[in-house]
Amino acid sequence: MPDSGPWYAEFYESDYRQFWHVWPDDPERDARQIEGAIELLDLKPGQNVLDLCCGEGRHCVELARRGYEATGLDLSESLLTEARERTAEAGVEGGFVQADMREIPFEDEFDAVINMFTSFGYLESDDEDQKVLDAVARALKPRGKFLMDLNNSDSPHNRPGRNWRQPEAGGVMLETHSFGLHPRAFTVEVTILDRGQRREHTIKLRAYTADEVERMLREAGFAHMTFYGGLDGSPLTVDSTRIVVVAER
């Protein structure tokens, strides 16, 4: 069987929307998340924001509704197509770019960059993940800010488990979650049974502690970092399921 490339390049063009991304659209949730990001970043009306790994564009739409210049970047053409449709349906403006997150095609362009919903850690090594942060720093204007939201790998709440799901599209899906220490990573084995067919995906996310995130951000040239336990600005503790960090270039 020929190599189909990295898991994320194949998965997000196939079963992501129909099966694994089973949560229904929730505009109120999206609005709360963006309101939290705006407050933590101290964004001013009209500022230019890049949503890195924007997916189907739900956060871009919320930014545009509030008067920000929103640009979404993602590797998946199918998700970008959905993002453009969603933006048009909402009656707002937004630009979308297909690119690898390590190769952001902008320099000194944005007042802020956001990276939400654990869209960091996909790559094959720490060095490759570091390239993402280096690219973010280049894309930001001087004193621009970066907000990253990811799983807290130190939290006991983010630990192995097994879940059966029945997506609206039909079929059934089994998720088996595991957590490894070397390398430190979350792994999700996804098995889909649909109309007599069985499909499998292995999703791997490198897991970082807050200290490791701080070190990597400093290496990329960021400073003045503040860590939170969520987009609500709560303190980061071992019980926090999320790590949210705001860093200034």
Q: How confident is the model at residue 216 (pLDDT cuts 50, 70, 90)?
A: very high
Q: Return the minimum-mean-pLDDT range out of 43-57, 168-182, 193-207, 218-232.
A: 168-182
> Rounded distance, CA 229 to CA 20, Å?
25
What are the pLDDT digits (tens) for 177-189? 999 988 899 999 9
Q: Is the pLDDT of residue 17 over 90?
A: no
Higher pLDDT, 143 or 156: 143
State the helix-helix crossing angle for 58-65 and 77-90, rounded to 10 degrees: 30
User: Domain segments of the chain: what residues?
Assistant: 7-152+209-248, 161-203
Q: Are 62 and 49 in contact (CB under 8 A)?
A: no
Q: Are 224 and 247 in contact (CB under 8 A)?
A: yes
Give the number of other CB atoms < 10 A from CB of residue 88. Answer: 11
Q: What percent of the chain has pLDDT over 90?
A: 78
Structure token pair of residue 219: 């290496």
Rounded mean pLDDT of 217-235? 97
CA distances from 73 to 10, 53, 97, 136 (A): 17, 5, 5, 12
Q: Are 101 and 52 in contact (CB under 8 A)?
A: yes
Query: What's domain 7-152+209-248's superfamily in CATH?
Result: Vaccinia Virus protein VP39 (3.40.50.150)
Q: How confident is the model at residue 2 (pLDDT cuts 50, 70, 90)?
A: very low
What are the pLDDT digits (tens) for 164-175? 888 777 899 999
List Cβ neighbours of 87 (8 Å cut-off, separation of 6 or more): 57, 60, 61, 64, 93, 94, 96
- Tell me which DSSP letter residue 171 carries: S
